[in-house]
Amino acid sequence: MASEYGKWRVIGSIGEGGQANVFLVENKEDPGPNFALKRLKNIGRLARFEQEVEAVRKLDHPNIIRIVDSDLAAAKPYLVMEHCEGGQLPFRARSSVQEYADALEVFETICGAVAYAHDHGIVHRDIKPANILIRADGSVVVSDFGICYVDDAGTRHTVNGEIMGSRGFTAPEVEEGVVPISKKADSYSLGKLLYWMFARRPQVPPREDFRSPKWDLRGRSTGHLMGIEKPELQHINKMLAFMIAENPAERRDAANLAELAQWTRRTLGGGYTAYGRDVEMICRFCGEGGLNLVTDNNPTDVRNFGITPVAGSTWLIYTCASCGHVEMFRPDDGRMKERWGLKQ
């Protein structure tokens, strides 16, 4: 291992990835904070390495890794970036509303950084916990743009059939190789990251299986209402439905996901109930029964509840199987129409 790279002196090893070694270094000419030096292992990947440097240098965002130096003409090309003392995003088993809120705040920040990259024509393609770093002050940083896609680059540095990203976090449309790159691929990966942040163990479900009993974040227990251990995590399931979807068209973009994380954080803190056609809701009146959708805009059914629907109105009516409580919604009359699958 070389001990010096230009003005950078190696202090120790930080880690090794498939394409590069990472070292902790100091500036010989200007003593101060330490930095991280990423050295390319395979010279055949130089074009992609160059793209990473160019991509990150065009991004000026407080939550995206900063590159301070590079030498791509060296025998062993390298780049130097800020060193995040907190390391990778750690896994934590969360159980309280405050812990949920903290996680959503972190996730909102990550989505904001990814949205900024998208606005500048860059798709990350490898969003996962290992590529989210923590600074000494606790702020999060989106790192490792090594396989990013620049939509105006003109040249693609990927071999046909080569799988991009990390299995478990990669969108299904890119798992089998190169296809037209979409920002929605990052949305899918963000969904897997969100699931990982709220899971009881550091794992993610295969493909879109997060709703199945085995993978449901809420957990199952006969000792809890409706057999659901953590009903409040239905709010997270609702978010996941906007990300972990096989069809990219059904996924929200990163900017919208940042807003959704903020909204969900406030909703969880207020103890409100997640809602939507595809959401399993617990009765807010008795707390024991589940709300069943008995009227989905059928005029006859609506009239059976003593309501005369007017032209253009949309009605959804739920009843509780335990106490008979009734919940009525007019999605067409609300501001959050898209949460019901309606156009704004």
Taking 60 as the threshold, does the pLDDT of residue 315 lie above it?
yes
pLDDT, average across residues 47-55: 84
CA 282/CA 317 separation, integer angstroms: 14
Q: Which of 101-110, 124-133, 179-188 has the lowest mean pLDDT?
A: 179-188
Q: Are residues 67 and 127 in the same domain?
A: no
126 catalytically annotated: yes
Q: Does 122 reside within a domain?
A: yes
Q: Are residues 171 and 198 in the same domain?
A: yes
Half-sphere exposure of 118 (CA within 13 A, CB side): 19
CA 270/CA 235 separation, integer angstroms: 12
Residue 205: band (very low, low, confident or very high) from pLDDT cuts 50, 70, 90: very high
Taking 90 as the threshold, does the pLDDT of residue 119 lie above it?
yes
Of the chain, the percentage scoring pLDDT greater than 90 comes to 49
CATH number at residue 13: 3.30.200.20
Total structural domains within the chain: 3
Q: Which of 54-58, 103-107, 316-320 has the lowest mean pLDDT?
A: 54-58
220: which DSSP letter?
B
Q: Are residues 189 and 133 in the same domain?
A: yes
Q: Are residues 126 and 264 in the same domain?
A: yes
Catalytic residue among 126, 144, 186, 216: 126
CATH number at residue 209: 1.10.510.10
The secondary structure of 33-93 as a DSSP string is S-EEEEEES-GGGHHHHHHHHHHHHT---TTBPPEEEEETTSSS-EEEEE--TTEEPPP--
- pLDDT given for residue 102 in this prediction: 96
Higher-pLDDT residue of 162 and 305 is 305
Q: Are residues 26 and 168 in the same domain?
A: no
Residue 164: band (very low, low, confident or very high) from pLDDT cuts 50, 70, 90: very low
Q: Are residues 10 and 78 in the same domain?
A: yes
pLDDT, average across residues 257-272: 91
| H or E segment to which residue 134 belongs | strand 132-134
Cα–Cα–Cα angle for 271, 272, 278, rounded to 5 degrees: 130
Q: Does 275 reside within a domain?
A: no
pTM: 0.84
Q: Are residues 265 and 152 in the same domain?
A: yes
Q: Are residues 129 and 201 in the same domain?
A: yes
Question: Can you give the residue range of the structural domain that contains 23?
Answer: 4-82
